Amino acid sequence: MLSIVKSMSLHGLDGFLVFIEVDISFGMPCFEIVGLPGTSVKESKERVRTAIRNSNIEFLSRKIVVNLAPANTRKEGSNFDLAIAVGILIANGNIVNNNLKDILKDTIFIGELSLNGKVEKIEGILPICIEARQMGAKRIIVPKENSKEASIVDGIEILPAENLLEVINYLNGNITINSLKSCNFIYNNKEKYKFDFGEVKGQEHVKRALEVAAAGGHNCLLIRKPWSRKNYAC
C-alpha cells in the first residue's frame, strides 16, 4: 500500500515541501530511504522502527521503501522522523480514518522521534511554520517543546504533539489536539527605552557591532583612541 505525507525542510531560511512517499509490499524484508537523504535522515530508520515498536504497535517485517520527493534536492536533519513514521503506519493500516485524505492534504508533520516514541524538539521551527503558512498549509503538527516558538506565526493551526501515540490517536479520530492561539510574546514583552541608537550620530560600524552582539548574546569590548574620553566595555 502507498501513502503520502507532507513534511518540510529548510535551505537557509527558505523552506520547501517534502512529500514522504511510503510503499509497503511483500518481498525480502528491508527498509530503504531514497531521495538524496543525508546521514541524519538515513539514521532515522532505526529511530522510527524502535519508536513504533515502543508505542505498542507491531512493526512487520516487510519491504518498506520511503521516497523523499523531490528526489533531486538533498534532505538534511532529523525533522522527517514523525512524517516517515506516520507514512509507514498509514501504509501498514494502523491509521484508518474516513477523513484521513482531507487531513493529510492540509497537514504538515515536523518532529524528531526518540526511541520511546516521544516527539523531540527540532531547530528552525519558526521559519518552517512561516513557509508552511505561505504555501497554503492549514495546520502543522510540531513537537510540544517547539509550540511556544511556533505560536508566533498566525494564520495556521499549530498542533503540539508530545509523542507518536498521541499523533496516531489524533489521526484515527480518537482524540483532538487543541491548537495554540497565536501569541507574539516577542512584541508583547518588548521593553521600551528612553534612548536608542537614533541618538547616536554616525558610528555605523560601532552600532552594527553592538546590534550583532546584543542579538547573539555575545560579549563586546569597544576601545577608543588613548586621547579620547572613555573606553567602553559591555
The neighbouring-strand residues paired with 8 are 17
Give the model confidence (pLDDT) of 5-40 as tens digits.
999 998 877 889 999 999 999 989 999 999 999 999
Domain housing 122:
2-186
Same domain, 8 and 114: yes
Q: What is the pLDDT of residue 181?
A: 78
Question: Given CA atoms 153, 134, 118, 86 in this order, what sign does their dihedral have?
Answer: positive
Give the HSE-up count for residue 13: Cα atoms under 13 Å, Cβ half-sphere. Answer: 3
Same domain, 199 and 83: no
Give the model confidence (pLDDT) of 194-222 as tens digits.
777 777 888 888 888 888 888 777 888 88
Same domain, 163 and 182: yes
The answer to whether the CB of 165 falls within 8 A of the CB of 174 is: no
Same domain, 225 and 199: yes
Give the model confidence (pLDDT) of 62-118 as tens digits.
999 999 999 999 999 999 999 999 999 999 999 999 999 999 999 999 999 999 999
Q: What is the pLDDT of residue 212?
A: 81
In the chain the first and final C-alpha atoms are separated, in Å, by 61
The neighbouring-strand residues paired with 159 are 141
Instruction: Let me know how long the chain is.
Output: 234
Same domain, 132 and 174: yes
What is the pLDDT averaged over residues 164-193? 81
Instruction: Locate 233 and state its grid cell.
Output: 566595555
Region of 17 (left: φ > 0; alpha: ψ -120 to 50; beta: rest) is beta
CA separation for the pair 209, 81 (Å, rounded)? 39
CATH for 97: 3.30.230.10
Query: How far is residue 149 from each of residues 6, 7, 57, 62, 166, measured CA to CA in Å?
Result: 21, 18, 31, 38, 21
Same domain, 208 and 159: no
Same domain, 56 and 172: yes
CB atoms within 10 A of CB 213: 15
